[in-house]
Structure formats: C-alpha cells, structure tokens
Structure 1
Amino acid sequence: QHISSLYLIMSGSSSNFQEGSFQVESANCQYSDNAILSDYVYETTMVDGNVVKPVQTKMQFQTERQVPKTGVMLIGLGGNNGCTCVAGALANKLGLTWETKEGTQKANYWGSLMMSSTVKLGNDVRNGGQAIYTPLHNMLPMVNPNEIVWGGWDINSTNLADAMKRSKVLDYDLQKKLYPHMKDIKPLPSVYFPDFIASNQDARADNVLTGTKQEQMEQLQKDIRDFKKNNGLDKVILLWTANTERFASIEEGVNDTAENLLQSIENGEPEISASTV
C-alpha cells in the first residue's frame, strides 16, 4: 500500500510533486549561509488531579546547510546485519540488477523511511489548491546513503564478501555481482568480553583487541580518528549491529556517571561491557 501510494504521487502531474529544493518564508524559520534555524513550540497537557493545564515548551532547531561527507562505522560489521546493510547500500550506489525466480530485480530503497517516503508539503496556490508532496529526504539537507563511507569492527576477521555469503540473506546472483566490491572490506579488530555475549561466538572470535579495557578504548578512539582522516570525512557515525549483550548492572561509583565510567574503564571493572567501551 505504501509503495502504491508513493507511485501514484510520483506518477501524477508535476504540479503535485515537489522534488527540487524550496525555501520556507516564516517568522519561525531563518536562513544563514551555514544553517537553517527553526523555532518550534511543543505543546502538551499536564494533569494534576482534576486540574488540566496546557504546557508549552519553546525549542529551536539548527540544521547545517552543507551536507557533510559522512562515514558510518558498524560494530559487528561482518555479522548478518552489518554486511547486508553495506551490501544494500553498495547495490544502490552501483545501480545493480540481478536475476531472481521472480525475474529481474533492480536495487532500490523501498523500505527506507528517508529515501522512499513522502510528506505533504502544502497546497498549490497556482493549481486549484492541489496537495503538494515532497520526498522526506528533500525536507532538509540530508546525507545520501549512496555517498556514505563504510567501515567498522568485528570479532571475526572474514572479509565482507565472504561474510555476505555466510549470512545467506541476499540472492545468489546479487552476491556474485557484489563480491568484487566487498572482498577488500575487512573489519577492524573488535572488543570481545565473553561474559557478556552467547558462548557460541567464541569459535569465530579470531579478530579481537588485546590489552586492558583502557588500552582497548584508546585503540577504538584511534581507529575512529584514522578512519575519519584517511577518508577525508567531516563526520563519523557509530552504529551497533553486533550481538545482543546480557544486562549490565548500573552500580554506584562504577558506571552511574560519565566520570565514574571512565575511571572504571581505566580500572578494568568487570561490569563494563564491550558496547560500553
């Protein structure tokens, strides 16, 4: 239903679909050379017994107008989620097509909220008040996923092409076309604390950092700095795609404040998980 609705909007006349850039004229929105500033009033209602009181909170949002060159580092890069995410982005960037039992398939971003959803922008004053729609990614300056630089860590050293084959998620023909583009992407050594994840991961943990928790944290920080510098990036985003960890207790004096947490990492406290580091 979502795809059909989007198709109807996009296949209609040009008067009801705004794909290019636009500018808002409002006292609540200002443009500078570097940013868009927008004022917003969040309204809610507080109830105290039989007294109901509307409450307003004033907010201001700032959005950079220059889209930064962005890298994404995945923790668990070689897992099913990590390698499939990178494979999907590369398939779209390369415009790949492949054969399935249903016929020829072309890479697309259906299922991506940002890339395939539309938003009602308003009504067209020049064309009888027809509704105007625009892609969600057109609402503000946003990073195109085709331009993302990918990297990350994994406790297993398998390159992403073989990790993709191992995960058995993608169609075989697509795997063949992606293989040469993914075989040279290899995960960086990752943090491995066996107490926090399932024991069946032990056999594949051949790409792990050594040293104290403090030393491992410092290596991760260096990895991020190197990744940013080597790829000429403005920003780096870290996303967790690795195994689910067991619950980590919040202990007073250990991990209840940022200051205590950093001290606990330096002290090698056992209740500091890999995801925390």
Structure 2
Amino acid sequence: MKQTNVKPAEGKLGILVVGCGAVATTFMTGVFMARKGLAKPVGSMTQYDKIRVGKGADKKYLHYKDIVPLADLNDIVFGTWDVYPQNAYQAAMYAEVLKEKDINPVREELEKVVPMKAAFDKNYAKRLDGDNVKDCKTRWEMVEALRKDIRDFKEQNGCARIVVIWAASTEIYVPVDMEKHGTVAALEAAMKADDREHVAPSMCYAYAALTEGAPFIMGAPNTTVDIPAMWELAEQTKMPIAGKDFKTGQT
C-alpha cells in the first residue's frame, strides 16, 4: 500500500455552507458554543469520540483529532450563500431548532456570518422565493461567480484551506445523462450552453469548489456528485467529494 503523507492542519479553515437555514445555523452555533466552553461537542466524532489504538498492553484510547491532523475549532471561519439576506443569528432564531438561550451567548459570532448572494434557479427549489440571488445569465456565469466568492472569502479571511458543504434545500431530481454528465468536458459545454435542464445549481457549486481546490460535501439527495463528470473532476483536482442524504428535503 502506498504511504500517504498527510500535511498538518495549519492555518484557518474556511467552511462555506450553501444555505443558511436550520442545518447550517445549528452547526455554526454548536461550534461557536463549544469553542467558548459553553457546550460540549456531543455528536462530533472528531471532537468528542475516542478510538482504540494498539492492542493488549499497548492499547490506548485517543480522540480522532489526536491521531490525524484536524483543524482546531478555533481555526474555523464560517461563510455561507443563501437566497435570503438574513445573517446567521436571524436565521437561527427563525428556524427555532435551538432555544433562544442557546443562541444568544454566541449572537455576536452568528451576526457576523452574512450570506453571500446565492447561485439560484427557482425551478429547482420552487418553495424558495428570496431576492439575495446572483444575476447570472448562464450556468457558466454561476460557476465563475462562485469561484470568485471562494477566492475572495479565502483571501479576506486569511484561510489556508476551504471546504464547501451543501446544506440547502433538496433540488428537483436530475437524471444522469451521459451526453451531458459523462465527462468534465461535456459538463463544461452544457454549462456554457446554459443547459438548465441538465445542470443544476448545485453542480455549479461543486464544480466551483473543486476547481478552487476545495472539497465538496453534498448534504442532500441531489445527483450532484453522482455523475461521472464530477468523479473525473475530483480525480483531476485531487479534491474529495462526499455525501448523500436520502431523507426527503424541502423543494
């Protein structure tokens, strides 16, 4: 087996979340609370759980973060895109997943997370009707705008690394079409031709993330990372793709 040398997790980690709703704001609030010592990171494998290392007399139980290089909670910087302009504090209060007493101790931190304009197509999420949306004429313009957002966020916040997570509503189902989704070249051609039937906005986010050197995690049952073009792009950029949520989402 080839030995992999994993670099230390040095510098700030930017976590850009697509969607600033219940899932995203609960995630952010939990991180902010934990790093202020106001809550324990229950539910986080990397921060809370332990794993056995070694056998017999040599065995010991260590936190994941003590075995592999992971970013410290204090090094995380959050950003988000959303069709609504409300900051993360306002969104968390509206979502009502957490109680006000749990949100207010980190109100200042949440208020600083203000959504960037979303790359959005109402045909893919008909129940959403926000106006914090990019004015993009084509899918390719969406990609270029999102790539700029990632670069700007990374520079403005002094981040060493970025990861992009989809925590937005589930899009309408897009069947895999090998003519459009079979290769990176085919997907790029479809984006440039503004093929809105075969290219979902989430595919633009994933493409932008990978080409900017950021892993992409899908938190909905969209077909975004299920297409050969995205697998090829992940191989080309050496960036991981992951995630699949089979629960019914809001569209």
TM-score by length of 1: 0.69
Equivalent residues in 2 for 1:202-213 (5 A)?
A: 202=129, 205-212=130-137, 213=139
Aligned to 1:273: 200
Do structure 1's residue 63 and structure 2's residue 6 form an aligned pair? yes
Aligned to 2:101: 173
- State the distance in 2 between where 1:268 and 1:182 align: 36
Evaluate the alpha carbon distance shift between residue 193 and residue 66 of structure 1 in structure 2; reply closer, same or farther with a 3 A threshold.
closer
- State the distance in 1 between where 2:100 and 2:44 align: 23
Aligned to 1:248: 174
**Percentage of identical aligned residues:** 24
Structure 2, unaligned stretches of length 5 or more?
205-251
Aligned to 1:75: 18
**Over aligned residue pairs, what C-alpha RMSD do you find?**
1.7
Q: Is the 8 A contact 2:53 2:61 kept in 1?
A: yes
More strand by share: 1
How much has 1:236 moved relative to structure 2?
Answer: 0.5
Equivalent residues in 2 for 1:223-262 (5 A)?
A: 223-262=149-188
**C-alpha deviations, 1:75-113, integer Å up to 9, x for none?**
11x1110111111111112223xxxxxxxxxx1111111
Do structure 1's residue 121 and structure 2's residue 45 form an aligned pair? no
Evaluate the alpha carbon distance shift between residue 225 and residue 173 of structure 1 in structure 2; reply closer, same or farther with a 3 A threshold.
same
Structure 1, unaligned stretches of length 5 or more?
1-57, 97-106
* Residue identity in the other structure for 1:268: D
**C-alpha deviations, 1:200-256, integer Å up to 9, x for none?**
212xx1211112222221110000000111111111000110011121122233222
Flag as ranges the 4+ runs of structure 1 deviating above 4 A: none
How much has 1:274 moved relative to structure 2?
Answer: 0.8
Aligned to 1:86: 28
Q: Is the 8 A contact 1:92 1:146 kept in 2?
A: no
How much has 1:178 moved relative to structure 2?
Answer: 2.0
Aligned to 2:208: none
Evaluate the alpha carbon distance shift between residue 66 and residue 189 of structure 1 in structure 2; reply closer, same or farther with a 3 A threshold.
closer
How much has 1:265 moved relative to structure 2?
Answer: 0.7
How much has 1:144 moved relative to structure 2?
Answer: 1.5
Q: 3-state DSSP class of the match of 2:79?
A: strand
Q: 3-state DSSP class of the match of 2:182?
A: coil
The size of the alignment, in residue pairs, is: 202
**C-alpha deviations, 1:123-162, integer Å up to 9, x for none?**
57xxxx2742111211122112332111020111111111
More helix by share: 2
TM-score by length of 2: 0.75
* Residue identity in the other structure for 1:63: V
